Amino acid sequence: MIIPLNQFETLIDDKILKRGVAYYENGAVVDFEEISTGEYEAIILGSEEYRVQFKVSDNTIVEHFCDCPYDFGPVCKHLVAAIFYLEQDRLMINHQTLSTQKTEKKTISVSKQVKNLLKQISHKELISFIEKQSKADKKFRNYFLSAFSYLHQGQSKDFYKKQIHNALQAAKGRNGYISWSETKYIHNTITPFLENAYREKF
């Protein structure tokens, strides 16, 4: 859905618009950053932490994505909250606390914090952290193995079957099935293994 910024309030469903406004006004936009010219990324805190990305061209949102499981329409409340954050000056939403938050977040955004830490952490510390996290968190371990699976050369078909099986098992909830919210994890974890297996020509 293409969204002209000067008309977005009239184009978005009223129910979603009101929820997005509430998220924005309650400070749910915990990080907001222009990652490149006209491309924005925001972290919205709801029942979980959701990542919103959108691209603006000629004062129009031409692309947008949110990793929440919302599937009842083209726009979710998290995107709406991010739009209000972007447009707060034009809309003259001048809550002092929000203005202060905006200034602070631009100087210490999450991505910048990560980059700064990676520059300071020693190789030994990073290895230790990854080893501990891999033991404590199955999803992290599977995603780590998947992200660097291109380094696994000449592995057997059973190796890939086991890795994919482990990823699926980690995604299962207490009820023994994979919920919609886990589909992104499954896709991101399994795809590199499948691509490598394909290159191995199994």
Task: Compare 105 and 202 and report the one with higher pLDDT.
Answer: 202
pLDDT number for residue 99: 40
Q: What pLDDT does 160 receive?
A: 84
* 202/163 Cα distance (integer angstroms): 15
Q: Token pair of 93, please?
A: 């939403």
Question: Would you say residue 94 has pLDDT above 50?
Answer: no
Task: Please give the torsion angle defined by the CA atoms of residues 13, 30, 190 and 129, in that order, rounded to the nearest 10 degrees.
Answer: -170
Q: What is the pLDDT of residues 105-117, one digit of tens each?
A: 444 566 677 888 8
98 or 181: whose pLDDT is higher? 181
Q: What is the pLDDT at residue 166?
A: 87
CA–CA separation, 111 vs 86, rounded Å?
18
What pLDDT is recorded for position 66? 92
pLDDT digit string, tens, across residues 60-79: 999 999 988 876 778 999 99
Q: Are 46 and 78 in contact (CB under 8 A)?
A: yes
Q: Report the pLDDT averaged over residues 8-29.
A: 92
At residue 104, the pLDDT reads 44
pLDDT band at 103 (very low <50, low <70, confident <90, very high): very low
Q: For all residues of the chain together, what is the average pLDDT?
A: 84
In the three-class reduction of DSSP (H, G, I as helix; E, B as strand; rest coil), residue 113 is classed as: helix
pLDDT in tens, 158-200: 888 888 888 888 888 777 888 877 887 888 888 888 888 787 7
Instruction: State yes or no: pLDDT of 49 exceeds 70.
Output: yes
Per-residue pLDDT band at 93 (split at 50, 70, 90)? low
Give the domain ranges of the chain. Answer: 3-116, 122-199
Residue with tokens 């925001």: 42
Q: Which residues of 112-128 are buried (b: 16+ CB within 10 A; e: fewer)?
A: eeeeeeeeeeeeeeeee
- Contact between residue 15 and residue 29 where contact means Cβ atoms under 8 Å apart: no
- Assess whether pLDDT exceeds 50 at residue 100: no
User: Regarding beta strands 29-36 and 3-4, do their DSSP bridges make them parallel or antiparallel, or are they unpaired?
Assistant: unpaired
Biggest alpha carbon distance in the chain?
61
